[in-house]
Chain A
Amino acid sequence: DSGVTQTPKHLITATGQRVTLRCSPRSGDLSVYWYQQSLDQGLQFLIQYYNGEERAKGNILERFSAQQFPDLHSELNLSSLELGDSALYFCASSASGTKVPGELFFGEGSRLTVL
């Protein structure tokens, strides 16, 4: 158990809909990262937050948004869903932000299926 909690574990929805994925980082970790992993694909970096502030953006679509709240949990909002958005979405946390590097600890992921 990495200590990173993601909900829901599975989600099935229809095209055009909107969903919210939630992530609670490890206790004490200030950084949260979101990744998308499509079937048989690698990990695509979406976005990073550090202590409530957006710090880095990757290949995140405009239909997607995220935020990190004062209690450090984070939410990834996916809207106007398309079939191609079906993927495993991972949240990861680390103690690092801008000063100290460190490994990422991954949650179990949220599997999104868009029908």
Chain B
Amino acid sequence: ELKVEQNPLFLSMQEGKNYTIYCNYSTTSDRLYWYRQDPGKSLESLFVLLSNGAVKQEGRLMASLDTKARLSTLHITAAVHDLSATYFCAVDITSGTYKYIFGTGTRLKVLA
């Protein structure tokens, strides 16, 4: 059974600090996606990583993908309160069609 695990599940950090969220998955896939969700809201696409070694950056967030290790990271640099949200990674599986499996989510709270 495919598993997509994120850690930590909860993260409380001070503004200005750096931290990394990890996403491990248990099957072969070259594609990984990161999404952000504010409480009670929809999911917003952050990054699309389509190959081994892919690195994408947007503002204070940087995502990378290592398909050999089946690991993606979302690095937060100098966190600000506005980054408080839940972050999900998702892997897509090609078994005749595309099925996206989401990780458990990491709830991030940035304290002022």
Tell me if B's interface is mostly helix, strand, loop or mixed.
Answer: strand
Number of interface residues of B (CB under 8 A): 25
Given known contacts A90-B43, A108-B42, A42 and B103 CB-to-CB distance under 8 angstroms: yes
Instruction: Confirm or deny: B54 has a beta carbon within 8 angstroms of a beta carbon on chain A.
Output: no
Tell me if A's interface is mostly helix, strand, loop or mixed.
Answer: strand
Q: How large is the interface on A (under 10, 10 to 19, 20 to 34, 35 or more residues)?
A: 20 to 34
- Expressed in whole angstroms, the minimum distance between the Cβ of B72 and any Cβ of chain A is 14
State whether B31 touches A108 (Cβ < 8 A).
no
Interchain CA distance A102-B45 in the complex, whole Å: 11
Contact of B42 among A33, A42, A94, A109 (CB under 8 A): A109
Chain B interface residues toward A at CB < 8 A:
31, 33, 35, 40-45, 48, 50, 88, 90, 92, 94, 96-105
